[in-house]
Amino acid sequence: MTAGPSGVGIGWRPEIAGFVAGLPGLRFVEVVAETVAPAGPLPDGLAELRARGVTVVPHGVKLSLGGAEPVDPARVAHLAGVAAALDAPLVSEHIAFVRAGGLEAGHLLPLPRSREAVAAVVANVRRAQAELPVPLALEPIAALFDWPDDELNEGDFLTEILDATGALLLLDVANVHANARNRGGDPGALLERLPLDRIAYVHVAGGTEQGGFYHDTHTDPVPAEVLDLVRELCDRRRPPALLLERDGHYPPAAELRGELDALAAASSYPVIT
């Protein structure tokens, strides 16, 4: 098994595979698990990175861990197979639901922060953990609204899930910013309540203001406010690794290198460009 994520990394996408391959200091990437066939050959770019010793973390988007229905065993088996194929040290997924009653939402949907939702997530995480060959890290998502029947604040909601399952935390700093901007609240206060020692790695991504809301797009540059949150997080407890997410509207290579360099500077990790 390869070493865990460390330093600054980037989300691997076929569209930027050549750019990622050319990063001389790269030590880890993340790949959307559903885009990898566990029984078939790895995509060329990923196979080359693994041959270089770069850690590859599978990131799931389809388990629907927050659904009221049990997780689909076939989807869990796929994630487990991808982890094995990549010799991954861990996998990650979202605290969200993506389907209900046989209908696919096509999006990551937020949960009410209720005791019932905690129980549903915990049950599904345990089902997944029983079949996964490596630890699981859980990512809270960005949301534009709060459910009216919330019983817990976000920090307590996440901590109860992590404590009950022993899972790791994948903290998305851009989501922390988006949620504070859209739903009110102090992002620093949330960092204060979270078990920062449980962080496996951190997501950092860009977004944009539109219609009075901040949208976590993954297609825009990382704003200064998100980099400020990275600095605040690292001042409190620097995570083992931080990863730049970009999922479209890819800028010129020089701009991507600049974003990676800014992330390295904010976290005091070595540059990888």
What pLDDT band is residue 106 in, cutting at 50, 70 and 90? low
Q: Tell me the H-state helices in 114-252.
A: 115-131, 154-165, 173-183, 187-193, 224-237
What pLDDT band is residue 147 in, cutting at 50, 70 and 90? low
User: Can you list the positions of beta strands (E) in the chain?
Assistant: 7-11, 28-32, 55-59, 91-95, 97-100, 103-109, 136-140, 168-172, 199-204, 208-210, 213-215, 241-244
For 185, other C-beta atoms within 10 Å of its C-beta total 15
Mean pLDDT of 10-17: 96
Q: Residue 211 pLDDT > 90, yes or no? A: no
Q: Quote the pLDDT of residue 222.
A: 94
Mean pLDDT of 175-185: 80
Whether the CB-CB separation of 178 and 214 falls below 8 Å is answered with: yes
Q: Residue 7 is which amino acid?
A: G
Whether the CB-CB separation of 31 and 60 falls below 8 Å is answered with: no
Q: Quote the pLDDT of residue 144.
A: 61
pTM: 0.94
Q: Is 224 exposed, middle or buried (0-12, 13-18, 19+ CB in 10 A)?
A: exposed
Question: What's the pLDDT tens digit per position in 31-43?
Answer: 999 999 999 899 8
